[in-house]
């Protein structure tokens, strides 16, 4: 952590995005959890638009270890959040002019991990004091149903949605949150009373109130009412399982203007016209891609697919702004899209960073295969995941991070086992541990036994094969 850049408690990253540091630094959370306020557009000069009041909060904060978040850290975080709302509220400009209150309308949780969600009830209580009579909507993508797949990649997530719902129930008052409507609040296996369900490609639009009124009430003063600097923006949900089953990213872009949409609607079949592309303003990647280092994941196959999906989505959105009449070789490079991570500093080139992450995972997989092939040639016998980590990482990681590295190595091995590239040779220790875990599961009726390891400050189920030997099943790996 000593080499990481220091991040302020509050940082204005653009006229649309403000970062609030979670005050929970650790080796896993880096400088702390990043939560973000996405606010309606400002003027071209970067000043607050007088009719821009609504904000969306992405994630909260929480403990960086198994214990609670210290009271002083929570207080500092809440003070930062409320101070931003106060700064973006404007006093009345004269007689008959209303005081404009900035407020949080929605809280979007990017995944269930407690360093992003534990402070949610405290945040809602604090907001209820500074924005009375303005309840918030809480949004989350459901965790995979661990009940149906107790031995799958997501088995450690059983009950996570229910736990968040239980904490929200502790708020007591029904006036602090907007409850889901009929059939709208099914989160995982829990019928939620307070959590709204996120959907793939769901969009959240933010625009100044004056602009919203202008769309619905056109009159003689249209030119005065329509502020050309007041661009609407939107967030789009992209489901990116891998880090967790419910992980999402959020793409931030300028929303298409009503006039451009109308022009597209009026186009003829012989000469189709499309609305101008909406410029990308950034992508919030939560813990799928970090500002520094690499991310932890629960399913490598899902994680790689999600990274590929993000690259494709951002590349296609960026390239849509290029001129289709130009020769492809003469097209300018794709514009850089900023990446706002769940931990660490902002990354200036999202596509390059995500591509780097995917290449890193594929390179790590190649290293695992390479070490196992060498062991087979040398007839040194099968290797455990622990021994693989020693040979791949050497002394480049501290001992404290070795369990996380071993956990990640086992997830690589699980993928390679599924692809029949490696074989698993169960050890007596692993067989005994599996038997103990099964006995405890039967006795307690739980989804798993006591075999856990701390990864990213969470106790997670030890993947199968922790004590086992692993060997290469094929030698032809040129395609990797």
As given in the structure block, the two tokens for residue 411 are: 């997830």
Measured between alpha carbons, how far is 88 from 77 in angstroms, rounded to an integer? Answer: 17
Sort strands 103-109 and 10-12 into parallel, antiparallel or unpaired: unpaired
Cβ neighbors of 69 (< 8 A, separation 6 or more) are 23, 24, 61, 62, 63, 118, 119
As given in the structure block, the two tokens for residue 116 are: 């992003």
End-to-end CA distance of the chain: 33
pLDDT at 277: 58
As given in the structure block, the two tokens for residue 4 are: 């990481």
- Decide if 319 contacts 334 (C-beta within 8 A): yes
Cα–Cα distances in angstroms (integers) from residue 363 to residues 392, 447, 469, 480, in the given order: 11, 34, 22, 9
pLDDT at 72: 97
Maximum CA pair distance of the chain? 88
In the sheet that holds 233-239, the strands lie side by side as: 203-206, 233-239, 248-254, 280-286, 339-341
pTM score over 0.85: no
Residue spans of the domains in the chain: they are 10-90+100-147+154-216+225-257+277-317+333-348, 364-472
pLDDT along the chain (480 residues), means of 10: 87 96 94 95 49 87 88 98 88 55 95 97 96 94 76 82 93 83 62 88 84 44 43 93 97 79 44 61 98 92 96 81 47 78 98 97 96 92 93 89 88 93 80 51 44 54 79 63
Measured between alpha carbons, how far is 338 from 16 in angstroms, rounded to an integer? Answer: 12
- 435 sits in the region (left: phi over 0; alpha: psi -120 to 50; else beta) called alpha
DSSP string, 191-217: E-SSEEEP-TT-EEEE--HHHHHHHH-
Superfamily assignment of 10-90+100-147+154-216+225-257+277-317+333-348 in CATH? Ribonuclease Z/Hydroxyacylglutathione hydrolase-like (3.60.15.10)
Measured between alpha carbons, how far is 365 from 169 in angstroms, rounded to an integer? Answer: 44
pLDDT at 146: 59
Q: Which one, of 170, 182, 155, 37, lies nearest residue 102 by Cα?
A: 37
Neighbouring C-beta atoms of residue 141, cutoff 10 Å = 26
As given in the structure block, the two tokens for residue 471 are: 């060997």
Measured between alpha carbons, how far is 77 from 71 in angstroms, rounded to an integer? Answer: 10
Neighbouring C-beta atoms of residue 200, cutoff 10 Å = 10
Residue 116 burial (CB < 10 Å; 0-12/13-18/19+)?
buried
pLDDT at 453: 55
Q: Which one, of 298, 301, 305, 302, lies nearest residue 407 by Cα?
A: 298
- Decide if 338 contacts 350 (C-beta within 8 A): yes
Residue whose tokens read 């100044």: 208
């Amino acid at each position: 952590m000593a080499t990481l850049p220091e991040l302020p408690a509050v940082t204005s990253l653009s006229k649309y995005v403000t970062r609030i540091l979670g005050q929970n630094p650790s080796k896993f959370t880096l400088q702390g959890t990043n939560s973000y306020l996405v606010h309606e557009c400002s003027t071209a000069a970067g000043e607050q638009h007088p009719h821009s009041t609504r904000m969306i909060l992405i994630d909260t904060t929480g403990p960086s270890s198994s214990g609670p978040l210290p009271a002083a850290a929570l207080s500092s975080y809440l003070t930062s959040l409320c101070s931003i709302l106060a700064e973006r509220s404007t006093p009345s400009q004269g007689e008959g002019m209303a005081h404009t209150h900035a407020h949080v309308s929605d809280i979007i949780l990017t995944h269930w991990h407690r360093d992003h969600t534990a402070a949610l009830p405290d945040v809602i209580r604090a907001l209820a004091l500074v924005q009375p009579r303005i309840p918030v909507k809480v949004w989350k993508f459901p965790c995979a149903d661990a009940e149906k797949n107790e031995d799958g990649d997501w088995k450690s997530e059983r009950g996570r949605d229910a736990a968040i719902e239980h904490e929200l129930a502790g708020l007591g008052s029904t006036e602090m949150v907007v409850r889901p409507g009929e059939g709208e609040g099914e989160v995982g296996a829990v019928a939620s009373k307070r959590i709204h369900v996120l959907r793939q490609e769901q969009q959240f639009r933010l625009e100044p109130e004056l602009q919203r009124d202008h769309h619905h009430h056109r009159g003689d003063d249209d030119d005065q009412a329509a502020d050309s600097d007041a661009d609407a923006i939107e967030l789009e949900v992209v489901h990116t399982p891998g880090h967790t089953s419910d992980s999402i990213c959020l793409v931030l872009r300028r929303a298409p203007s009503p006039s451009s949409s109308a022009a597209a609607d009026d186009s003829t079949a012989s000469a189709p016209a499309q609305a101008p592309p909406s410029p990308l303003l950034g992508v919030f990647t939560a813990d799928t891609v970090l500002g520094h280092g690499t991310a932890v994941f629960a399913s490598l196959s899902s994680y790689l697919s999600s990274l590929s999906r993000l690259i494709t989505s951002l590349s296609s959105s960026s390239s849509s702004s290029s001129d289709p009449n130009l020769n492809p070789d003469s097209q300018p490079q794709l514009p850089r899209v900023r990446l706002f991570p769940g931990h660490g500093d902002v990354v200036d080139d999202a596509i390059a960073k995500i591509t780097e992450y995917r290449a890193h995972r594929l390179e790590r997989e190649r290293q695992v295969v390479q070490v196992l092939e060498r062991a087979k040639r040398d007839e040194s016998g099968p290797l455990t995941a622990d021994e693989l980590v020693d040979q791949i990482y050497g002394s480049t990681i501290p001992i404290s991070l070795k369990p996380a590295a071993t956990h990640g190595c086992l997830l690589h091995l699980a993928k390679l086992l599924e692809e029949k590239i490696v074989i698993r040779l169960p050890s007596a220790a692993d067989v005994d541990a599996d038997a103990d875990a099964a006995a405890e599961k039967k006795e307690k009726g739980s989804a798993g036994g006591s075999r856990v390891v701390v990864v990213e400050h969470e106790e997670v189920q030890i993947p199968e094969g922790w004590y086992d030997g692993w060997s290469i099943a094929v030698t032809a790996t040129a395609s990797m």
